[in-house]
Each structure stands twice: as C-alpha cells, then as structure tokens.
C-alpha cells in the first residue's frame, strides 16, 4: 500500500507512519515542522523539532518538509492508496490569537488533501476533534469529577450527532476543524472520495511534544520529570476520556479494512478510560515519586468541563475497542520522556 501521512512528525502522524512502514508499506510524510512555533514556542531547539522527522527517516519513511496549505506542495505528489490527513494547527488558545493560520492550515490544507484524493483516487482519513461540538454548559459536579448534565451521555458517552441540533461557539480551532470535517463528508457524497472522519478527544502517547497549550498529559509528564510548575486552568476536576495513540492507529486501520465507503465517528477512550486532570497528576506522582508545584487559574474560554466519547459505533461496527488504559499509557509516556530528557 502507498501511504501519505500529513503532519507525520506530530504525535498521531508519527505513530501512523511508524506502524505502516514497519508492516512493509511504502510510507511518505509531509510536515513543515511548524508545531512548536505555531504554539508560540519558537525557542524550541532544532534537535527537538526534527526528532520525529529523523526517527522516521531511520525507519525508512520518505519525509518531505512541505506546507499542506500551499497548493504547490501537492503538485508533484503521486497517487496514494490512503492519505492520513493529520497536519493541523492544534492549539485552542493559539487559534483564538491567530485564526488566520487555522483557516490556512486546517481548512485550505484539508481542501488540498481532499483534492489530491479526488484527482488520484484513494481513501482519506481525517483527524477531526470533539471541539466541533459546541457544548460548554450543562455539566454537573459529582464528587471530584465533572459530568455531563445528561444521563444518557453519562451512560454512553457523547454521540456523533446531527450538528443542526447544537448551537454555540466552537473557538476558531473548533470551527476550522469542523470545516475540514464537513469538506470530507462533502467530497464523499459529491465526488465519491472514500473518507473516514474521526472526532477525537484526548490523544496522548510517545513522541508527543506536549506543551501547556496542547498535549497536556505529556506536558504534565515532562514538567513532573523536570520539576517545572504546572498550571491547571479550572479546578482540575474536568474529565477527559484519554486514548493512547496506538489505539487511534488501530481504529483507523479497522476503518480502512472495512467495507465502509464513509464514516463519521467519535473516537476516544470511552467511560472506561476517563480521568480527571487531578487524577492524572496523582498517577504521575506514583510513577515519578514526586510532584510538580501546581497552581490553579481561571477556566479557559469554551473549555468543556467533561467530555467522554460514545465509541459504540466503532465497537459494534468495526470491532474496535481501546486496549491501553490511562495508567499504562502514562507509564509508557513517562518512560519515553525519561529516556529522552535531554531534548526537553
């Protein structure tokens, strides 16, 4: 299989590229290595910026330093059996400060990827997000955890639903990703491009360069290891259904192998893999035997106090389920951070 991974030097893209090249497929990566500077960390050293890029080259992946939002990046690209379109501006606070880059990367970049798939054939897998759902109110605090104020969602998780029933603000990150999500659905119905859209919640894993702005679980691990202060926005009782990155690759692969011509799924750890931010800090304390100084600040605008995915469509339709629980996943991440502490 000929595979292209955009954003292949980021967390999810890296793990997709690694998975398929190790299975003997022909894998290419397109990434402009902009993650750190997009998130306001231009100080990050070259060694860290190119870490995943170099690791992929060693694994036999062909890597191209190109910007997905520029049409010329796509001109010389060949036909692919599948494009995993992961490249994005991923930071919510960043998107509020500079929405133009979200439009360029998340909307135009997705348009370019879809056009390539339309002209050359092949499937497109799109990394969408729970931030496409404008749910900001309607939560209740039960003990040390926020929940939905909705018994059905507390039972099954939040469903991939008809967006017309939801209104409210999404943040520029949310709307730009939602634009890409809709483009994928449209390119399927209008042009017959096979598209899989995965609205994901909190994904974490090895080879993630977490910052306070994005990638919080890995950031907490790096900060704990280095004794750096951690700021929690809110009370730390907010709940996420964490999903380890290898489980994400498993879900994408299950879709690729299926007979489905298209799909829009919620993808997360589900209720079994929920964790509050405070609970995450406690697990890290157990792993490292120490705790960073913690301060609590105001909630960030439009932060969801609880988000848990309804993953029944993936469980029942594709036979997929998460394999890695948060404690195991955080232990794997923390070992990777420890082994590479010189680049953090």
Ligand X SMILES: NC(=O)c1ccc[n+]([C@@H]2O[C@H](COP(=O)([O-])OP(=O)(O)OC[C@H]3O[C@@H](n4cnc5c(N)ncnc54)[C@H](O)[C@@H]3O)[C@@H](O)[C@H]2O)c1
Which window, 8-16, 116-124, 133-141, 146-154, contacts ligand X (CB under 6 A)? 8-16
Residue (221 or 259) nearer to ligand X, CB:
221
State how far the Cα of 183 lies from the Cα of 171, in Å rounded to an integer. 18
Q: Is 129 in the site for ligand X (CB under 6 A)?
A: yes
3-class secondary structure, 41: coil
Distance CA 248, CA 259 (A): 19
Asked if 310 and 241 count as a contact pair (C-beta separation under 8 A), the reply is: no
Cα 306 → chain centroid = 17
Closer CB to ligand X, 64 or 291, in the complex: 64
Instruction: Work out whether 177 is an interface residue with ligand X (CB under 6 A).
Output: yes
Q: Which of 303, 305, 274, 302 is nearest to 149 (CA)?
A: 305
Q: Could you say which of 3, 83, 105, 275 contacts ligand X (CB under 6 A)?
A: 105
Shortest Cβ contact with ligand X: which residue?
Answer: 10
Cβ neighbours for 122, distance < 8 A, ≥ 6 positions apart: 79, 80, 81, 82, 83, 194
Q: Closest by alpha carbon to 51, among 209, 272, 276?
A: 209
Binding segment toward ligand X, per CB under 6 A, in 82-90, 222-230, 256-264, 308-316: 82-90
Site for ligand X in 193-212 (CB under 6 A): 200, 202-203
Structure tokens at 338: 């420890």
Q: Which of 27, 102, 109, 311 binds ligand X (CB under 6 A)?
A: 109
Shortest separation between residue 13's beta carbon and ligand X, angstroms: 6
Stretch binding ligand X (CB under 6 A), from 9-17, 144-152, 163-171, 317-325: 9-17
> What minimum distance in Å lies between the beta carbon of 307 and ligand X?
10
Least distance between ligand X and beta carbon 259 (Å):
25
Is 302 a binding residue for ligand X by CB under 6 A? The answer is no
Please say whether the beta carbons of 158 and 130 come within 8 A: yes
Does 334 contact ligand X by CB under 6 A?
no
Stretch that binds ligand X, among 5-13, 142-150, 272-280, 294-302 (CB under 6 A): 5-13
Residue 149 Cβ vs ligand X, minimum distance, rounded to whole Å? 23
Residue from 82, 86, 283, 318 touching ligand X (CB under 6 A): that is 86
3-state secondary structure 46-103: HHHHCHHHHHHHHHCCEEECCCCCCHHHCCCCCCCCEEEECCCCCCHHHHHHCHHHHH
Nearest to ligand X of 32, 274 (CB atom): 32
Size of the site for ligand X (CB under 6 A): 29
Determine, following the binding rule CB under 6 A, whether residue 311 of this chain makes contact with ligand X: no
Contact 234, 300 (CB under 8 A): yes
Q: Which stretch binds ligand X (CB under 6 A): 30-38, 54-62, 146-154, 322-330?
A: 30-38
33 binds ligand X, rule: CB under 6 A: yes
Q: Which of 224, 219, 223, 192 is nearest to 208 (CA)?
A: 219
Candidates 66-74, 150-158, 189-197, 310-318 — which segment interacts with ligand X by CB under 6 A?
66-74
- Mapping DSSP to helix (H, G, I), strand (E, B) and coil, where does residue 324 land? coil
Question: Could you tell me how far CA 197 lies from the centroid of its own chain?
Answer: 12
CA distances 59 to 7, 25, 44, Å, are 17, 12, 24
Residue written as token pair 């909190």:
202
35 binds ligand X (CB under 6 A): yes
Question: Which of residues 92 and 284 has its CB atom nearest to ligand X in the complex?
Answer: 92
Q: Is 263 in the site for ligand X (CB under 6 A)?
A: no
Q: Which residues bind ligand X (CB under 6 A)?
A: 6-7, 9-13, 30-35, 67-69, 86-90, 105, 109, 127, 129, 177, 200, 202-203
């Amino acid at each position: 299989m000929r595979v292209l991974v955009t954003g292949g030097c980021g967390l999810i893209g890296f793990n997709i590229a690694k998975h398929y090249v190790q299975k003997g497929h022909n894998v290419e990566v397109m990434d402009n290595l902009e993650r750190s500077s997009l998130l306001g960390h231009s100080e990050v050293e070259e060694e860290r910026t190119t870490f995943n890029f170099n690791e992929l080259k060693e694994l036999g992946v062909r890597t191209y330093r190109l910007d997905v939002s520029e049409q010329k990046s796509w001109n010389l690209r060949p036909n692919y059996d599948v494009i995993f379109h992961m490249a994005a501006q991923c930071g919510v606070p960043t998107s509020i400060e500079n929405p133009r880059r979200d439009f360029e990367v998340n909307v135009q970049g997705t348009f370019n990827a879809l056009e390539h798939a339309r002209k050359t054939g092949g499937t497109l897998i799109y990394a969408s997000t729970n931030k496409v759902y404008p749910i900001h109110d309607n939560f209740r605090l039960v003990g040390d955890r926020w929940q939905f104020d909705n018994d059905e969602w507390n039972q099954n998780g939040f469903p991939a639903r008809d967006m017309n029933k939801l209104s409210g603000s999404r943040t520029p990150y949310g709307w730009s990703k939602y634009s890409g999500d809709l483009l994928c659905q449209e390119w399927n119905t209008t042009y017959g491009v096979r598209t899989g859209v995965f609205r994901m919640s909190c994904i974490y894993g090895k080879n993630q360069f977490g910052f306070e702005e994005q990638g919080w679980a890995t950031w907490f691990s790096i900060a704990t290891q280095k004794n750096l202060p951690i700021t929690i926005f809110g009370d730390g009782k907010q709940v996420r259904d964490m999903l380890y990155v290898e489980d994400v690759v498993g879900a994408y692969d299950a879709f690729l192998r299926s007979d489905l011509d298209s799909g829009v799924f919620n993808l997360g750890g589900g209720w079994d893999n929920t964790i509050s931010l405070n609970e995450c800090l406690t697990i890290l304390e157990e792993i490292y035997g120490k705790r960073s100084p913690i301060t609590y600040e105001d909630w960030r605008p439009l932060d969801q106090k609880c988000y848990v995915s309804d993953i029944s469509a993936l469980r029942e339709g594709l036979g997929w389920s998460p394999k890695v629980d948060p404690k195991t996943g955080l232990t794997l991440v923390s070992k990777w951070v420890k082994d590479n502490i010189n680049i953090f």
